[in-house]
Structure formats: C-alpha cells, structure tokens
Structure 1
Amino acid sequence: MKQIDTKLMHPKVQIVKIISRIYKSGMTTTSGGNISICDENGDIWVTPSAIDKGTLTEKDIICVKRDGTIVGPHKPSSEFPFHKAIYDCRPDIKAVIHAHPPALVSFSIVREIPNTNIIPQAKNICGPIGYAPYGLPGSDELGDLIAAEFKKGDSMAVIMENHGTVLGGSDMLDAYARFETLEFCCRTIINAKAIGEPKFLSDDQIDVFEKQVPHDVPRNTDVSYPPEERAIRQEICDIVRRACDQGLMISTYGTVSVRWKNDDFLITPPDVARWDISPEDIVQIKGGKAEPGKTPSRSTFLHQKIYQENPHINSIILTQPPNLMAYGTTGVKFDVRTIPESWIFLQDVPCLPFGVHFQGDETIPKLLSENVPAVLVANDSFIVTGDKLLQTFDRLEVAEFSAKSLVMAAPMGDLVPINDEQVEDLRKKFLS
C-alpha cells in the first residue's frame, strides 16, 4: 500500500502518529499497548512505560540502542522484551504493534483465531495468524512464546492467549494496516454472531476478487484540472477522512467517487491509506479513461456503470462499516422498517450475493434508483448513492447507526418493524 514516505519521517514521529490514531480509534487505553520501530542501525524506538497514550509526544519516545543503552526521559515499555525478541528472530520485521483492542481481546479470551475470510481483502493483508500461549506480561517467557510463533516465518500477526495481539510489519504503516484490518474482522464476526451465523468466503472467491484490480485501465494523455474539478478532489478527501474518524472506513478499504460532468467522475485510488489521502491522490476518469500515472479503485467500472445508468446519482460511497457488514455476512435481512426515520433515508436495502460487483455484471447499476439508493453486497461492502456527496455520507451514517441499533437490540428479543400501511404513510408524506 502506498503510504506517506516513512523513510523521511523520524521513528519518533511515526510512533506518535500511529499510537495517537490507535488510542483515538478506541483500540487501546491510556496505559495499554506499546509500539516500536527497529531502525537501520538496529536501534529500537519504543513507547514508554506508564505514560498516557492519549498525550504522548515525540520527546516521550524511548530509544534502546543496539548495545542496550537507554536514551530518553522514561523507562521503555515493560513489554519491550518481546519486541526485541521479534526483531531478533525476524529481520524482515521493522515495526511491531501490541495492543488490546476489544474484539481481538475477545478472541484471545475464548482462545480462537479469527477467520479473516469474512471479507475479501483481509486474508492477504493479515496473512496467517499465529497463537501464543499465556505468559506473564512483561516477562522474558512471554517474549520467548511470541518469538516462537514469529520464528515459524509465515505469520505477521499473533493472538496472545488471554491478553491481546501483536503484529509486525515491513514498516509502521504496514503493521498498522494489518492491526486495524484484523480488529475489523473480529468486530464484524462478533456483530454477525449477535444476529445470526457468519458465512465466510472461499479462497477461490478471494482470488477472483484480487484479480479485479484494474491495472489495464486505459489512460488519458491530456488532463486538465479546472477549479470545479479541484474542489471535488478536496471534498472527497474531507469525506474520506471523516469516514475514517467515524469508524465507517479503515485505512485499507473504502471508495468514494463524485460525478464531475456528464459521465466523467473522480474516484479514490486503491493504494493509499484512506486517512492519509490527499487531493493529488484522487484519480480523474474522463471518457472512460484514467488520469495517467495513477491506478483508480478496483470498483471504477462499477461506478462508471452506475453513473451511466442513473443520471440522478452524482456521488457513490462503497465501504465496510462493521455493523452493516454483520448483515452483509450472515444473510439476515437488514430491516430498515424497524426505524421509520431510517427508512425515509434508505428505503428497503437489498442484500446481493458476492460477485455481483465485479466487472461486467450490471445487476447493481440497474437495481439502484431513486427508490433503491443503497445495497449490501454479501461479504464485501455497503454501496450507497446520492446527489450531493454530503447527502450520500449522511445516508451512510444513518445506515450504520441503524444497523448498530439492530445488532444491539437482537439479544433483547424479536425486532418489530412498522407495517406496510405505516410505510406507505411515510412514503406519501416524505417521498412523494
């Protein structure tokens, strides 16, 4: 994944940036978790022990030199031993994240390894997942147990029994993408189990999905960037970052496009961390051809067909909110009729089988209409449309909030929707 060039960022800057994001995303606590980077000199930069994760600054980050000398105002993390053990046994790993995100901790408590085939991209991002037996936190024994899993050579992620998780990466952003994606998978599986039984993709289905990356998209040679086009780029970036902050997208998945003029549009790329996206990353699609030097989203063809088929649609968001994906991975009906205000925004939301979003299938473009502004695609995504991008984002928020309410209500009893007559009253008052 193309990211900010970490080679130009001091390890202290990277660590503060990522630990802040982990904390603000609710994936660690004030005192929990630790992250580190091993630099080209073999020195290890690590978060300190017993310092508030919500207020860490660059001056708080500790450097443990290759010879064991400690540089910095605090003690290194109490779990530094397993960080060092990982670097010693896996030279390919240059960054380590350890934290206690709630869903991953749930799996560690029941002593299960999550099946990442719940969504198509997670298998390749997360890779094989190891499992380390319990060890006393901060002990050399725990370091040895974790290192033993990493020594096997095929895992970049390890579940720690009754503890949490530890993940490695070729750099800090690679480790973070793996960490965030694995926690998302766990949350989706847990939410799905609250309403039904999750269904998983086969390896063959995932292989077909991976082949959808449009490397052979035709390119334009002459490109112009008039003011209105540049304004759309900024609007897309603002909404993508907002979606990440709201937990509606993760760094590795989520696509936004906006019609520019006629059937030309602007769309996000597949190879940039969503919360780091900038206007120059956005890809212009003009006359069915992409801006030169850039790869548009793998769903570009789908977006193009939606715009061609639906003149009233001027913006599209495709993403994987964890509560909506509970419905998208179980086949349980996402019944918006349980919340009248939500039905006004979304009407009835169909769930379609995995694969209908691939190139050449016109099911979704023909199904979407003013009466069907959104669809779920099984094990893949929620696709929502609208006129203005803010309207589309609002529908996304309403859908995920509604799904969250339904997931939370499921253990309490049967969900009772409004009846057809009441729906018709809503239609007459708000949609006629």
Structure 2
Amino acid sequence: MLTRSDYLHPRDEIMQTMDRIYRYRMTTTSGGNLSIRDESGDIWITPARVDKGNLTRNDITRVRSDGTVEGPHPPSSEFPFHKAIYDARPDIRAIVHAHPVALVAFSICQTVPNTRLFHQTHSVSGKVGFAPYACPGSQQLGSNIATTFAEGCDSVILENHGVVVGAESLARAFERFEAFEFAGKTLIKASKLGSVQYLSDSQLELAASRSVDLPSFEPSTASQQERELRKQLCEFIRRGCRQRLLISTEGSFSARVDKDSFLITPTQQDRESLTIEDLVLVQDGNREAGKKASRAVLAHRAIYQQHPSVDAIVFAHPVNATAFSVTNSVFDTRTIPESYVFLRDVGRVPYGVQYQHDGKIADYISTASPAAILENDGVLVTGSSVLDAFDRLEVLETTSEAVINATSIGKVSAMSQAVIDELRSAFQLD
C-alpha cells in the first residue's frame, strides 16, 4: 500500500524530515545529514554548510550514479559514508545521521544503548552496532560504518561522533532514529532512579505477537460531537509529539463519542502526521471499515465500559515518566500540590496486563487513581475530556522530570499527610 511519503519528491521528504529533526532538537544547525537513494541509484542528500534550521527544497543536492553533482551546493562532507552504506546494503534506501544528545553521550562512552526496554523500541531500532572512530568525512569512516552495516546492523553508534541509521525509506529511518534516541534518553534518566529492568525474549514475544481483528462496519454521517473530537484529538496528538510526550511509533489516544463508541488512533501510522480522516471510529466493538485501530483498542474499550466518567484515554511514552516504568522506583505524586490534585495516587501495572483481552487493565484505573505506570511500557492516563487527559499527561511528565532532577540535588521530600488532607478538603477530592 502506498503511503503519503511515496508521493513526495526526495527534495521535499528530506527537507520535511530535517525540519522535524531540528525542531525536536535532535541535531544542530551545522550537524547531521539525510539522504535517499532513488530507484535509479541517484543519491539525494543534504548539502554541506547550509543551515539545517532553514533548509529549502532547492538546497538538496543530487549525486547521480555516475558521480556528477546537481544543485547549488556541494553534497554533505559525510557523503562518502552514505555511499559506502548503500554499497554494502542494497536493501537500505534512506539514511539519517545526526547528533542527538543521548546517543552522543553513549558514543563518547563507547557503548551502545540496550533497546530491550520496550517491545516497540527494540523492534523499530533493529539490530544495533558500534563503529570505531575515524575522521569525519574520511573514506576510513565510511569503511568503518559500512562494515558494521554489512554485519546486519540498522542503528549504529559512531565512536565520539553520533549515530547513523538506515532503512527502506526515509520515514522508516526517521522512526528508527527517534526510537533509538528515545531508548538512550530513557536509559540515562532511569539510571538516576535505580536498576534498569530489561525485557526477556518471552516478554518481547508477548507484545510482538498480540493482534486485534475487530469486525468492520460502514459508519453513517459523523455527528457534530464526533467531528469536534476528531479535531481535538489530532491537535493534541500533534502537540504531544512536538512536546515529546508522544513519539511517532508509540502510544495511542482515544476519546469517547457516546456510550458505545469512541475514536482512536490507527496502528502503524506516524502520530504527528495524523489527520481527522485517519482516526478510527469504534462502535459496539466494531471498527470503521478500511482502517486499522491501534492494537490497544481492546484496553481502551474495557476502560470505557468499566468507567463511565472516563471520556479520554492516552497510552504514552514521555521519557521521564517512562524512566519510572523501567525501574522499581516508586512514583510519588506527593511532591507538589498540582501533582497530587491532578494525578492523585498513581498505581503500577505489571508487565503485559494491557496486552491481554480480558479487560483487567481497567481495574488499575479509578477516580482516585486516574493514571498508572505501565511496567516497561510507559504510562496510562485517563480524563474527563481530551484536554483533561492531556493536561494530566503533562503534569505526570513534568513531575517525573522534577523528581529525577531532584535526585541530583538531595533527598526528595514528600508532602506530609496533613498537607494531603488539606488538599483533599480544599479541592473536594473524594
């Protein structure tokens, strides 16, 4: 099936992807380069010495298979290693190289992050590897990197340099790059909390093998409520991606339309680029025809059925909150008033509960506990509206970051029971 990127010219796809990487602060003005090898063997690549934060489609350079160069600028100085990777791996059609802070930290420690933190990060990142140092732009660097890719690696840490990933498309390469950096960031944050828990082969298989095949139906004309919720979901999903509360390959967001129906994000689609048409209506256990709902759809449905007061649900992977999910460290909301008022007591869900079809995930949510930490799978947050759920997600993440930062300063001090009782009375918390 063709995707949106299949209709984009390489110039536009490279420009848009670099804009996203720069906007996410995953590279610098002068750092990083992207390329696409087209069906004729020509390589389209970002130019040398051009501001990555102000790149235009006309800046993209084309290097033909015969070595001739087209464009107003010379190709990136790293072109030799792009070419070496393509020569070593005919299956790779796109490459992302950049200097995101977490993976750079691993590169200067000469180590590779363990991606077995989450099933999706492990599968998306592919086989990870390490390439020894050589001068940037040199043929030796190209040889070192190509050798590592030739061994079957897809995501490679470059010693004292950064990272390079390859994939069958630029969209897929970006997802791989983002997931790899996400794993690196989470590991760094989690190390401040305690011992990191990694997934076993059987745990990874549990997540990978889950599937949901709901019957389909042809929906009637959308109600005004449904139309409004489609707009809200898309806006908050996009905001969540840009605020790094969501990543393109992880998580799901839904909103209740009425007693027996809700809208939910589709599976295997870039979260930030979702449109109102992409969202899937689920009604009486059936999915909107022609669309594939998130694999978490049954967990969402179980929560809506058991909790009439819940009108929005988000499963997400914000880095700091997710760091709690991969350690045994207890997340305590009793740190500042806002955290307790918005989140109350945040529970912890054993690994894999949300993947089952028995609906038990709903038992971990209540009015007194609207959010939960999912072991090795991020967080679950519910709300009375899309805004309410998103607000709680933000509070959960900012509180997590504050607590992790506080561990570098001293002992974290929780509010006393007397303060909690005062908050419960002042805000009428049941």
The interval holding the TM-score normalised by the smaller chain is over 0.9
| 1:115 matched residue in structure 2 | 114
Cross-structure match for 1:71: 70
Structure 2 residue 296 is the aligned partner of structure 1 residue 307: no
From 156, 174, 177, the counterpart of 1:176: 174
Q: Give per-residue Cα distances to partners, 1:66-109, cap 9 Å, x unaligned.
A: 11111111111111100011111111111000001000111111
- Change in 2 beyond 3 A, CA 1:300/1:3: farther
The secondary structure found in structure 2 opposite 1:414 is coil
Q: Structure 1 length as normaliser, TM-score?
A: 0.97
User: Take 1:222 and 1:140, find their aligned partners in 2: how far apart are those partners?
Assistant: 58
Structure 2 residue aligned with 1:233: 230
Between 263-272 and 169-178, the greater mean CA deviation after superposition: 263-272
- Partner SS for 1:383: strand
Contact 2:154 2:166 in 1 (8 A): yes
Residues 125-172 of structure 1 deviation map (CA, whole Å, 9 limit, x = unaligned): 1111121001111100000000111112x2111111111110001010
Query: Counterpart of 2:268 in 1: which secondary structure?
Result: coil
SS in 1 for 2:192: helix
Q: Which amino acid aligns with 2:355?
A: F
SS in structure 1 at match of 2:353? coil
Residue of structure 1 aligned with 2:264, choices 259, 262, 267: 267
1:93-112 aligned within 5 A: 93-112=92-111
Counterpart secondary structure, 2:246: coil
Superposition pairs of residues 186-205 of structure 1, within 5 angstroms = 186-205=184-203
Distance 2:2 2:332 in 1: 38
RMSD, aligned α-carbons: 1.3
Asked if the contact 1:3/1:273 (under 8 Å) is kept, the reply is: no
Aligned twin of 1:329: 326
2:219 & 2:338 partners in 1: Cα distance?
46
- In structure 2, which of residues 163, 166, 174 is the aligned counterpart of residue 165 of structure 1? 163
TM-score norm. by structure 2 comes to 0.97
**SS of match in other structure, 1:136:** coil
Change (3 A) 1:109 1:361: farther
Deviation at 1:361, TM superposition (A): 4.0
Pairing of 1:242-261 with structure 2 (within 5 A): 242-261=239-258
Aligned twin of 2:4: 5
What is the CA–CA distance in structure 2 between the aligned matches of 1:220 and 1:336, rounded to whole Å? 42
Partner of 2:154: 156
Partner of 1:16: 15
The gaps in structure 2 that reach 5 residues or longer are: none
- CA offset digits 1:300-343 (Å, max 9, x no partner): 11111101111110000110000001111101011110112111
- The answer on 1:146 being equivalent to 2:145 is yes
Structure 2 CA distance for partners of 1:406 and 1:228, relative to 1, 3 Å: same
Contact 1:310/1:369 (8 A) holds in 2: yes
Specify the code of the residue in structure 2 equivalent to 1:170.
E
Alignment of 1:89 with 2:88, yes or no, is: yes
Q: Deviations over 1:261-304 (max 9, x none)?
A: 11311111111100111111111111111111221111111111
Q: Is the 8 A contact 2:110 2:159 kept in 1?
A: yes
Q: Is the 8 A contact 2:47 2:73 kept in 1?
A: yes
**Which residue of 211, 214, 223 corresponds with 1:213?**
211
Where 2:53 maps in the other structure, the secondary structure is coil
Moved more, 31-40 or 363-372: 363-372
Matched letter for residue 289 of structure 2: P
Query: 2:34 aligns to what?
Result: 35
Alpha-carbon distance in structure 1 between the residues aligned to 2:122 and 2:180? 9
* Cα offset, 1:362, TM superposition: 3.7
Contact 2:99 2:162 in 1 (8 A): yes
8 Å contact 1:299–1:357 — kept in the other structure? yes
Asked if structure 2 preserves the Cα contact closer than 8 Å seen for 1:48 and 1:62, the reply is yes
Instruction: Report deviation, 1:4.
Output: 4.2
From 314, 323, 329, the counterpart of 1:317 = 314
Instruction: Write out the 4+ residue segments of structure 1 that deviate beyond 4 Å after TM superposition.
Output: none
Aligned partner of 1:354 among 351, 355, 363 = 351
Alpha-carbon distance in structure 2 between the residues aligned to 1:243 and 1:4: 23
User: Residues 243 and 4 from structure 1, CA distance in 2 versus in 1: closer, same or farther, beyond 3 angstroms?
Assistant: farther
Deviations 1:53-73 (A, max 9, x none): 100001111111111111111
Q: CA deviation at 1:240?
A: 0.6
- The number of residue pairs the alignment matches comes to 429
Percent of pairs with identical residues: 44
**Paired position in structure 2 for 1:296:** 293
Give, in whole Å, the separation in 2 of the partners of 1:363 and 1:296: 20
User: 2:241 corresponds to which letter in structure 1?
Assistant: C
The 2-side partners of 1:429 and 1:111 are apart by 52
Instruction: Name the SS for the 1:344 alignment partner.
Output: helix
The runs of 5 or more residues in structure 1 that have no matched partner are: none
SS of residue matched to 2:408: helix
